Amino acid sequence: MATNGISKLDLKRQNRMQILKLLRNEGPTSRIDIARKIGITKAAVTIITNEMIEQGIIYEKGKQLPKGNKIPRGRKKILLDVNPTYKMGMGLVIDNGLIYFGLCTLKGDIIEKHTKVIGPEDNAEDIFAAVEKLYQDIMYKNDLKPSLVAGLGVSVSKDYYSMLKVSVGPDGEVDYNGLQERLSMFVGVSMAFGSLIDGVATAEADYTQNSDEQLKNVLVIRYAKEFDCAISIGQELYHGSHGNVLDIAHYRIDSEPECQCGKNGCVSAVLSQERFLNRIKEVYSPEKTPILWEQTSGLFQKVIDLFRQPEYIPQDMPVLEVFRDTGDAYLSLFHDMVLFFDPDRIILFGEGEAFEYLAEYIIKTAQEKSIYAGKKLVARSGISLQNVFLAAASLATREFFINKGGF
C-alpha cells in the first residue's frame, strides 16, 4: 500500500531515520519535542518510538530535569536516546604505512582497536591477510554475529589505491568495487567506503559532539602529506552538485610555489608538508639554527623525527618564522572560508611533522586575531590518530543504521 507514491514501509523508515538523526544531533529528547521538531503528530511518534524501544534501538533514559530552580508542573517529560549497544560499528583505515582496525558502539565508544604496520615488502595479499585476521579475531573475541554489526566502514589513502584495486574514473569518482569484492571474501557484514576526511567529518558529528555545543556546519581540514578537507552542512556531508564543492585544495592563497594543477600558490602546494620541510631545510645550519642543529647532530632526517614528537617546541628564530608563516597561511585561508561558508567551527585533523605545535599556534592566533576574535572558531579534531578507525566506522554507522532508520 502506497501513500502519495511512498510505501508505508518507506514512510516508516523515513520517520525513524528523522528520529535517529534528531537524537544523534541533539541528544536525549522527549516524544513531544520529537513530534514538534520533525513535524509529525505525538501519537505517531509514540507508536514509532514504542516499536523502536521494543526492538532495542532506542530506550527511555529518564525524566527531563528542570532548568534552573523552576519546579515543573504536570508530568515530567521522558527522554529518549539511542541505545549505543544495539549494534556495533567497525572501522578499517589503511593510511601512511599502517592498518587501523577497531570496534565501537553506535556512539563511538571504543570496544577494541588495533594498529598494524605495513612493511615495505608487504604486497596486497599480505595486507588482506592482516585485515582478515583482525576482522576474524574481533568477531570471535567479542562473540559477534554479522547481524550484531551495523557495518564495516573502509577508508584507504590514495597511496594504496592501485595495490588494493581501487580505481578513479575520468570524472574523479572513486570506484571501490574491486576492493569490496576482495574484502567480501571474508567480511560478512555490510561495507561502506569513503575518504578518511569525510569519515572524520562524519565522526565529529556522530561521535564527539555534546548537547551543549551544537555544531551544525563545520569545515574539517587535514594536515598531512596531502592537503584535504571536507564540508558538513547540517551535520551532513556536502560535496556540491558535481562533487567538487569549493575545490579548496586549488584555491589560490599565494604567488608560489607551482601546484600540480599548473597554477601557482594553490592551497595544496602552499600548505603541503613537503613545502614546510623544504623551507626548514633551507634555513637548517649551525649558523642559523644552532639549537636545532645540536639537537639533531646535523642530520636532517633527525629533524623530521624530532618534529613528529608532540612535545616539540621550536626555539631558533628562523624555524619559528617558518612555523608562523605556515600558520598564518592557514589563517588566511580560514578567513576567506569564514566569509564564504560561515562555519560554526573549523576543525583541524592531522599528523606528522610538527602538527601539535602548528595547531596550537593556529588556534591561539585565530582566537586573538580572526574576524571571530574571542570565539572558539578553530579547534583540534576530537578524533585522534590513534583512534582514527572511528572515522571509517562512522561512515558505516551513518549509512547502515542512521540512514536506514535502524532497520
Identify the H or E element spanning 195.
Answer: none
Alpha-carbon distance 393 to 196, whole Å? Answer: 10
Domain extent listing, the chain: 2-82, 88-203+387-402, 210-381
Per-residue pLDDT tens digits for 357-406: 999 999 999 888 766 666 788 999 999 999 999 999 999 999 999 999 99
Alpha-carbon distance 392 to 95, whole Å? Answer: 12
Alpha-carbon distance 318 to 287, whole Å? Answer: 11
Beta pairing class for 345-350 and 378-380: parallel
For residue 259, the model assigns a pLDDT of 80
Residue range 67-87: average pLDDT?
A: 77
pLDDT at 314 over 90: yes
The yes/no answer on whether domain 88-203+387-402 falls in CATH 3.40.50.300 is: no
Contact 115, 98 (CB under 8 A): yes
Alpha-carbon distance 155 to 209, whole Å? Answer: 22
Neighbours of 151 (CB within 10 A): 25
Instruction: Say yes or no: do domains 88-203+387-402 and 210-381 share a fold.
Output: yes
Q: What is the mean pLDDT of the chain?
A: 89
Per-residue pLDDT tens digits for 161-187: 999 999 998 877 899 999 999 999 999
Residue range 143-172: average pLDDT?
A: 94
Alpha-carbon distance 106 to 24, whole Å? Answer: 10
User: How wide is the angle at C-alpha 386 spanned by C-alphas 383 and 390, nearest 5°?
Assistant: 50
For residue 310, the model assigns a pLDDT of 83
Alpha-carbon distance 286 to 264, whole Å? Answer: 32
Per-residue pLDDT tens digits for 185-236: 999 999 999 999 999 999 998 898 654 566 788 999 998 888 889 999 888 8
User: How wide is the angle at C-alpha 88 spanned by C-alphas 164 and 166, nearest 5°?
Assistant: 15
Q: Could you give the residue ranges of the DSSP H alpha helices within 265-316?
A: 267-270, 273-283, 290-295, 300-307
3-state secondary structure of 127: helix
221 vs 245, more confident: 221
Biggest CA–CA distance in the chain, Å, is: 81
Neighbours of 3 (CB within 10 A): 9
Residue range 296-308: average pLDDT?
A: 94
Alpha-carbon distance 15 to 377, whole Å? Answer: 34
Name which CATH class applies to 2-82. Answer: mainly alpha
Alpha-carbon distance 45 to 38, whole Å? Answer: 10
First to last CA, the chain: 19
Domain covering 210-381 in this structure, CATH number: 3.30.420.40
Contact 381, 348 (CB under 8 A): yes
For residue 368, the model assigns a pLDDT of 83
